């Protein structure tokens, strides 16, 4: 049973940050899901502080019709004693977006499958991940944790062999990325949203270097597979295909995006480089240059040296697919 694995469920990146932020600022929240209420409460009981953060929890068994019917959101607004027009829905599914709009609410879509963003046209805003949510756009207090154009993250690690990419980094862009093999990294790629990250890169026997990288499909080129493309911010005399590369990712810069021209893409990538180079001099990020993981030698994989890989449960009704509804104080 999936219930036996709920303790292993990981929330979407940015979910804990968002819930804490809204709670601190006194924004009433309701969680509305098509799952039975008992199931919802069991799932979120493993997420510290979640249950106490929601003023109301509504399950699909408590309303006459599930999403895309607006019933569940209208019931949430009623329990919060708010007008539907004063509510903001954050949803990852098409039925959920349809339900929120039918209820007369503003809706932010965070598509469960990012390559389907074009299907969410009825949403008021579509964002790549919760890391990209800007509460101030909706009359809410802004996050205060962005530093020099970067969002600090709990560091995560990945290592693997450097492989030949699409042959466009150096030739088309003048940017020699060291593409990392995605073999064995299916879970990691599903855990972390596409976007531009930065941190430190270790080449055993060579050194540790500043690094900025993209994870995703590179919309300008419309890749068919999600890739990991780090750019080591150092001039090398030779390539290092086949060498093991160790990465410690410490922060986030921006979501993936498309560009009207190759020149605009190149300009943005160099902007990312400047942001990463400057940020990595800050003590907050500089301290990770000494992470032992960067100099470890071992079998390619994720996680810390010597530690087991953690494989979180993935299921269509997992807690990270929860929906939040909050008051828009501008109304």
Same domain, 76 and 132: yes
CATH number of the CATH domain containing 195: 2.40.30.30
Alpha-carbon gap, residue 218 to 269, rounded angstroms: 12
Please check whether residue 298 lies inside any domain of the structure: no
Q: Is 229 a catalytic residue?
A: yes
Beta pairing, strands 207-216 & 227-232: antiparallel
Confidence at 114, pLDDT banded by 50, 70, 90? confident
Please check whether residue 208 lies inside any domain of the structure: yes
- DSSP for residue 63: S
Mean pLDDT of 112-130: 90
Same domain, 171 and 270: yes
Same domain, 134 and 28: yes
Query: How many beta carbons lie within 10 A of that of residue 50, not counting itself?
Result: 23
Helix (H) and strand (E) counts for the chain? 8, 11
Please check whether residue 286 lies inside any domain of the structure: no
Alpha-carbon gap, residue 192 to 312, rounded angstroms: 12
Q: According to the model, what pLDDT value does residue 313 have?
A: 34
Please check whether residue 167 lies inside any domain of the structure: yes
CATH number of the CATH domain containing 57: 3.40.50.1000
Same domain, 133 and 15: yes
Please check whether residue 155 lies inside any domain of the structure: yes
- The residue from 75, 91, 229, 244 that is catalytic is 229
Please check whether residue 291 lies inside any domain of the structure: no
Least reliable range by pLDDT among 166-175, 244-253, 258-267, 318-327: 318-327
Taking the model in full, what pTM does it have? 0.85
Same domain, 31 and 128: yes
Same domain, 86 and 184: no
Domain of 212 in residue numbering reads as 151-281
Same domain, 12 and 139: yes
Q: According to the model, what pLDDT value does residue 90 have?
A: 97
Same domain, 136 and 168: no
Q: What DSSP string runs through 145-163?
A: --BTTBEEEEEEEEEEEB-
Same domain, 140 and 155: no
Q: According to the model, what pLDDT value does residue 167 have?
A: 57
For 13-46, how does the pLDDT look when each residue is reduced to its tens digit (9 = 90+)?
Answer: 999 999 999 999 999 999 999 999 998 988 898 8
Same domain, 165 and 276: yes
Mean pLDDT of 128-150: 97
Please check whether residue 300 lies inside any domain of the structure: no
Please check whether residue 295 lies inside any domain of the structure: no
Give the total number of structural domains in the chain.
2
Q: According to the model, what pLDDT value does residue 3 have?
A: 56
Same domain, 164 and 252: yes
Q: What DSSP string runs through 212-228?
A: EEEEE--TTTT-SS-EE
Please check the confidence at residue 235 and state whether its pLDDT lies above 70.
yes
Q: Among 330, 325, 317, 327, which residue's Cα sits nearest to residue 70?
A: 325
């Amino acid at each position: 049973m999936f219930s036996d694995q709920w303790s292993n469920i990981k929330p979407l990146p940015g979910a804990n940050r968002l819930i804490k932020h809204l709670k601190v600022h006194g924004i009433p929240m309701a969680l509305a899901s098509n799952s039975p209420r008992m199931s919802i409460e069991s799932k979120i009981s493993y997420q510290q502080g979640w249950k106490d953060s929601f003023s109301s929890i509504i399950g699909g068994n408590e309303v006459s019709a599930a999403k895309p019917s607006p019933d569940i959101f209208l019931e949430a607004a009623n329990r919060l004693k708010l007008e539907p027009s004063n509510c903001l829905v954050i949803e990852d599914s098409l039925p959920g977006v349809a339900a929120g709009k039918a209820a007369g609410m503003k809706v932010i879509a965070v598509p469960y499958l990012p390559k389907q963003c074009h299907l969410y046209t009825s949403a008021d805003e579509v964002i790549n991940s919760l890391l990209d949510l800007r509460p101030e756009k909706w009359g809410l207090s802004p996050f205060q944790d962005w530093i020099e154009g970067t969002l600090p993250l709990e560091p995560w690690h990945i290592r693997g062999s450097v492989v030949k990419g699409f042959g466009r980094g150096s030739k088309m862009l003048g940017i020699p990325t060291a593409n990392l093999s995605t073999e064995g990294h299916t879970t990691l790629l599903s855990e972390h949203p596409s976007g531009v990250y930065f941190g430190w890169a270790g080449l055993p026997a060579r050194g540790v270097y500043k690094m900025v990288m993209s994870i995703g499909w590179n919309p300008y080129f419309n890749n068919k597979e999600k890739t990991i493309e780090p750019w080591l911010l150092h001039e090398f005399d030779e390539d290092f295909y086949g060498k093991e590369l160790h990465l410690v990712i410490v922060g986030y810069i921006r979501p993936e995006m498309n560009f009207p021209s190759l020149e605009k893409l190149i300009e943005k990538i160099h902007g990312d480089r400047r942001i990463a180079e400057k940020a990595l001099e800050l003590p907050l990020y500089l301290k990770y240059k000494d992470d032992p993981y960067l100099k470890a030698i071992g079998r390619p994989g994720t996680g810390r040296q010597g530690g087991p890989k953690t494989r979180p449960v993935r299921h269509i009704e997992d807690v990270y697919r929860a929906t939040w509804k909050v008051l828009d104080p501008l109304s």
